[in-house]
Structure 1
Amino acid sequence: MTSFTAPGLSAESATTVSACLQERLSALNDLHLTLKHIHWNVVGANFIGVHEMIDPQVDLVRGYADTLAERIATLGSAPRGTAKAIEDDRSWGDYSIGRDTAQAHLGALDLVYDGFITSHRAAIEQIGKLDPITEDILIGQTAELEKFQWFVRAHLESYTGELANAGQSSETAAAAAARSAG
């Protein structure tokens, strides 16, 4: 339990919200690292466009992590931003694509965003009634992350609206489908 929190929020609610935010903080830290990994390992015909598209995403995700860490501290808890925290909080697998084409990475990244956005929406649902301030923070972050996913999907979409990685449930399968379609 926290010993202090934001006015109008019970210590019990603050502890619940902080725990939820800690998992999201670790997920954001992991997403930052995944995006930088893609940035460093993308090759092929669309290299420069994807390479440069990823950097603003990295910067925004790092800022989101900072916002959540500061919110955790505001609520009276201590944010954990270490590699061990990511490992402890992780309920997802490590990004599985190494050096590969832009299309392959974008196919896999689309699935990463699917999982991340779904988890952020679940956090919104979990803490919405407890702390509308934190809910608002997560809603704003989710909106921007959905826009980034749209940027990714624009590279994967055919003129008929089909995604090159449609129906794939693993990063490697999504990468292979996008690579072969591109």
Structure 2
Amino acid sequence: MSTTRRAGSETRTEILRVALELFTERGFEGTSIRDLAEALGMTKSSLYYHFAGKEAIIQALLASRRAEVEDLLEWLGTQEPGPDLLRRAALRWIDSTGPERILGMRFAHANGPTMSRLAAQGGNIRGWFDEVVGRILGPDAPMPSRLRARMAFDTVSAALFAAQGQPASEADILAAARAATIALTA
């Protein structure tokens, strides 16, 4: 097996990218450390140097998503409240969605049991948006308004579901999500 030398941060980034692809394609349970090492062109011991195992890789991926939500919360703290804040925030979230986040959503769709287990351990990505919605609408907003707000942030995931079996590109998915968010926040 030939191995490739990369800088430490580059190696971690590449491990996360390849792991996400394999976990989505083969399933979390169906992908072994050996599979990851082979796909990366490295030894298992090199992979273990960077991550203690598959669970640690998933935790790093979740930390990245959590950081994105924290960035959104930080941005919300700089915004003037108003009737258009939900739309601006949800569109900002969609506009910041790149291939890695879309792949992460595909992973979540393909690995329901793993996502349920992670949610029980504090990795509930959807639950993280409770704070976002609370900041936008306030603590006393009625439940239908809160649900509609959560839906506005979940349109990329909904568009991914709708695109299954369709020749839709990522641009098509994001365009549909954007249009749905605008409709939900009208």
Q: How high is the TM-score relative to the length of structure 1?
A: 0.33
Q: How high is the TM-score relative to the length of structure 2?
A: 0.33
